[in-house]
Amino acid sequence: MSSAVTLPPLGHEVRRTAVLAAPLVAGHVATGLIGFVDSVIAGHHGTATLAAVAVGTAIFWLPLMVPMGTLMAVPPAVSQLDGQGRHAEVGPLFRQALWLAAGLGIALFGLLTLLAAALGPFGIAADIVPGATAFLHGIRWGVPALTLYFCMRYLSDGLHWTLPTMMFGFGGLVVLVPMGYALAFGWGPFPEGGAGGLGLASAIMMWMQSAAFAVYLAFSKRFARYALFTRFDPPRWPEIRSLLRTGLPIGVTVTMEGSLFVVTALLIGRLGEIEAAAHQIAINVAALCFMVPFGLAEATTVRVGNAIGRGLGSAGVRRAGFAGLVLVLGTQTLSGIALLLGHEHVVRIYTDDAAVAALAGALLLYAAAFQFPDGIQALSAGALRGLKDTRVPMFLAAAAYWGVGMSLGVTLGLGLGWGPKGMWVGLIAGLTVAAVLLGGRFLRSSHRVPAVYTVQPSR
């Protein structure tokens, strides 16, 4: 029997989303700090090393976004099952997701091996290529572990338990700081490895994170009722295909956005060491700021999916989405102000090179300008994932990020000679259009959810 009930106030949903998101945000910040650690160590090792890590990181993250986004099908799937009380189905779904993650990780390892050999033909400055190649050769060994880690993390997030994301995120950071320094600069039995040493340190950290998360899921009482590792399931194509049907458009959408930044880094890498190093500093800071709305978006995915699973209808779905929007507007206001007032101080952490610092400081002002559109488009995409509305947003993202953002950035930055600043104007334009398109899509899609809902206990 269906009946209408009064939904709790928006403030209640904001608090629930904030509590769910806080560990996610902290975990994402920890992940962002990994790039920060790599960049700071590389910057103090030398400008050439920082430029090599900038290009190597861009090459690494560009293809990684496809499996990372594809596995984002896991949170809404398990969240809806959990909301419907179908706990026995979570374990089998998770085991199929592990097969998918393993396959994606192995494929990505092979792709990175090939891409490492293509830096020269792509046009990357010759003095950057050796270090970037060494970085890729080191970090590629951690990719299979990273995709498995994403799968386990998304399962935990989708079941409303986000503390492990924070715990293992900061745990990886604790490992990377001393190991990255030792392998980059050389210490004791370790020779000086520069960018290659940083890549290898990151790979070792990824395997340690993945192994620790697997042990946690296997022995935690919180996950016992889901029977995650109680039996071996061979890969089953129908279940994997269902995950791919939802996840691949998410992967493409995430790639559309991320590749806008990655390709920008690669194009700037053709301009020289100073430009590449300055862009790496600015984009690393911007990425750290993005971890907050990204965590809020993932929490919103879970809350929207859970609202659907509990039968709360269109009003409940929109309430979950608007709660995330309230939080994002607040956090983006703070990050924009921080970048405007503190950009010069932030740059000094990364480098002592005056030319690099001056350009990086200027680029951070552009980063301040896109805080609002970046947060809104991320939140809207997360809410749409909770609805499992992924195909149309994929095309909207392509139009915004590439049809507008990249074309304008290339025209201004390379065609008209504006350099890195022109490329960043393109980033702002692409994110703004994406915020409008994806936000509008969520409003339309949420209205299509049936308005009549079944009374369920509040969660």
Q: Are 278 and 47 contacting, i.e. CB atoms less than 8 angstroms apart?
A: no
Q: Tokens 């939904």 map to which residue?
A: 7
Cα–Cα distance for residue pair 12/14, rounded to 1 Å: 5
Q: What does the alpha-carbon distance between residue 342 and residue 209 come to, in Å, rounded to a whole number?
A: 33
**What does the alpha-carbon distance between residue 301 and residue 315 come to, in Å, rounded to a whole number?**
16
Helix (H), strand (E), coil (C) string for the chain: CCCCCCCCCHHHHHHHHHHHHHHHHHHHHHHHHHHHHHHHHHHHHCHHHHHHHHHHHHHHHHHHHHHHHHHHHHHHHHHHHHHCCCHHHHHHHHHHHHHHHHHHHHHHHHHHHHHHCCHHHHCCCCCCHHHHHHHHHHHHHHHHHHHHHHHHHHHHHHCCCCHHHHHHHHHHHHHHHHHHHHHHHCECCECCCHHHHHHHHHHHHHHHHHHHHHHHHHHCHHHHHHCCCCCCCCCCHHHHHHHHHHHHHHHHHHHHHHHHHHHHHHHHHCCCHHHHHHHHHHHHHHHHHHHHHHHHHHHHHHHHHHHHHCCCHHHHHHHHHHHHHHHHHHHHHHHHHHHHHHHHHHHHHHCCCHHHHHHHHHHHHHHHHCHHHHHHHHHHHHHHHHCCCCHHHHHHHHHHHHHHHHHHHHHHHHHCCCCHHHHHHHHHHHHHHHHHHHHHHHHHHHHCCCCCCCCCCCC
User: What integer pLDDT is reported at residue 234 of this predicted model?
Assistant: 92
369 vs 332: CA distance, rounded Å: 10
Read off the pLDDT of residues 407-442 as tens digits, 9 standing for 90 and up: 998 899 888 888 888 888 998 999 999 999 999 999
Give the per-residue pLDDT at 3.
Answer: 46
* CA–CA separation, 408 and 430 (whole Å): 9
Inter-CA distances, 315 with 31, 80, 248, 386, 451, Å? 34, 17, 28, 14, 7
Residue 451's pLDDT is 59
Q: What is the dihedral sign for C-alpha 268, 269, 272, 273?
A: positive
For tokens 């960018």, the residue is 195
* Tokens (6 digits) for 394: 């994929």
Q: How far apart are CA 423 and CA 406, in angstroms?
A: 8
Integer CA distances (angstroms), 238 to 23, 84, 211, 339, 391, in order: 33, 21, 28, 47, 19
Contact 360, 281 (CB under 8 A): yes
CA-based R_g, the chain, Å: 22
The CB density around residue 225, as the number of other CB atoms within 10 Å, is 11
pLDDT per residue over 125-168, tens digit each?
A: 788 888 989 999 999 999 999 999 999 999 998 887 878 888 89
CA distance 70 to 29: 21
Q: Which residues of the chain have pLDDT under 50?
A: 1-3, 452-459
- Joined together, the tokens standing for residue 445 give 């899609």
Whole-number pLDDT of residue 8: 66
Phi/psi at 187 (5° precision) = -160, 130
Predicted confidence (pLDDT) per residue in 220-265, tens digit: 998 988 889 988 899 999 889 989 988 888 888 777 777 777 778 7
Can you tell me the distance from the alpha carbon of 287 to that of 269, in angstroms, rounded to the nearest whole number?
18
Residue appearing with tokens 């890549």: 199
**Distance, CA of 49 to CA of 198 (rounded, Å):** 10
Residues with Cβ within 8 Å of 432's Cβ and at least 6 positions away in sequence, in order, are: 370, 373
| Residue 432 to residue 368: CA distance in whole angstroms | 13
Q: What is the dihedral of CA 16, 18, 21, 25, to 10 degrees?
A: -170
